[in-house]
Amino acid sequence: MNKSLKNRNNSRSRPGIVLLVTVVLLVVLSTLGYTLSTRVAAQRHRDQYIIDYSSARYGCDSAVKYALATLEDIDPQLISRPNEPDFSDLFCLSEVEYQEILEQWSIENQLTTFNNGESFNDMIGINDVDELDDTGSDEFGIDGFDDYGSLTISGPYGPPWPFVTEPVEFEIGSAKVRIEIEDENAKYPLGWALLKDGKVKREAEAGFETFCEMSGLDAEQIDALKTELNEIGQIKMFAVEFKRTTRTIRTPIRTAPSRSSTSKSSTSKTPRTKVTRQIVQVDEQISEQTAHFAELFHSSLIDTEALAVPTIVSSSRKESPLKYMGTWGSMKVNINTAPRHVLEAAFIFGGDEVKIAEEIIQRRRIEPFADIQDLKTKLFRYSDSIGRCESYITTLSRFFTIKVTAVSGVAKASSVIAITKDGAKVKRIAVING
């Protein structure tokens, strides 16, 4: 009786056991399947990223070669902008203020030269009823000029500051490439905060403070940047004036040991050296310093990510303190292409910086300054102050950066090349790949 009851209970529990085993097997198999598919997908993603990055890197490197090869033919020419708003104060304008300037500019000039000299009425077809909406306004917003199309404030060369030429975009294989050339002499040389000339230390500190405050950095950010620069200053100080120097070079002279000399006597002798002296030219010293500080300013000693945090972002512009900092070892500021806060920092070395900067901004819109003597002549009231700043200013940019970005799929490759250009002669200073 007990045996038959036990057999009956066992027979009843078998379907439950089978169901449990089946469920467990399904869970295990589904887990294994999910894990396997996840790993396969991750591997495919990694493989695809490697392919995309290889394409992006190839496109970037090819674009760099193209840019360097064509750079000799680029001759940046300053343009006249007498009736246009100046780019000098864009760094501190909010997007609302920026749009208000565009609107005011549009109203004052009635956009008569908006489309290659074509009048505003002709451009929008004011006599064509198809150009008007139900409210009687045209697509450009006649009553309020709400939409300005491609209307932007020109930089000193035409494209938006600090571009020397309009950015170029094209494709190399599957990579979309963008090339930008920026004027580094239009930016505040960060090395000025590390000048080793004690006579101008106070002015250098004042200029640095002025630039940082006008750039929108708060006290905490300024102190952090000072600390970082002090660490760099312990490695090397910055200079803006050089003289030809003599470099002493000692090279060991290797001589064959005499047969009669013993090993003990030969080791006790002082090694002979040959002393030679080499004249180091000014250009060579400048190149060495530029390369050295380009490396230091792009090392982990400077928190460039914090300085690059945008203060203003819109479809037409992107502002940040780093945008206005020369971090490649440049030494001089071009008065024809630098914005207001950079000009004021430069002329603090001589005084009257606010008045001089304003005069420069108003005059260069009509005609760029030919040289420093031209500046002294036109601003003769401040000739003494200008004279004390000659080591820090120029009227012709020779220092540029080429920024190349290539995107393929989800991968991105970039290169930044700092170069000096004197006529057709191009010299590479430093390269950073990302």
* Closest to 351 measured CA to CA, from 226, 210, 241: 210
- The pLDDT score that the predictor gives to residue 144 is 37
Burial of residue 71 (number of CB atoms within 10 Å: 0-12, 13-18, 19+) = middle
Give the whole-angstrom CA distance, residue 167 versus residue 181: 7
Give the whole-angstrom CA distance, residue 43 versus residue 39: 6
Alpha helix stretches (DSSP H) within 85-218: 95-109, 120-124, 201-214
Asked if 191 and 238 count as a contact pair (C-beta separation under 8 A), the reply is yes
Give the whole-angstrom CA distance, residue 330 versus residue 342: 13
- Return phi, psi of residue 171, to 5°: -115, 140
DSSP of 275-315: EEEEEEPHHHHHHHHHHHHHHHHTSTTS-HHHHTS-SEE-S
What are the residue ranges spanned by the domains of the chain?
1-78+169-242+285-434, 87-154, 245-279
Residues of the chain with pLDDT below 70 are: 1-16, 18-19, 110-150, 244-251, 254-271, 273-281
Give the whole-angstrom CA distance, residue 431 versus residue 61: 12
* Closest to 401 measured CA to CA, from 68, 75, 13: 68
- The pLDDT score that the predictor gives to residue 245 is 61
Asked if 98 and 106 count as a contact pair (C-beta separation under 8 A), the reply is no
In sequence order, the 6+-apart residues with CB closer than 8 A to the CB of 95 are: 312, 314
Asked if 48 and 409 count as a contact pair (C-beta separation under 8 A), the reply is yes
Give pTM, 2 decimals: 0.76
Rg (alpha carbons) of the chain, rounded to whole number: 33
- The pLDDT score that the predictor gives to residue 342 is 95
- The pLDDT score that the predictor gives to residue 407 is 92
- The pLDDT score that the predictor gives to residue 280 is 53
Coil, strand or helix at 249: strand
- The pLDDT score that the predictor gives to residue 434 is 79
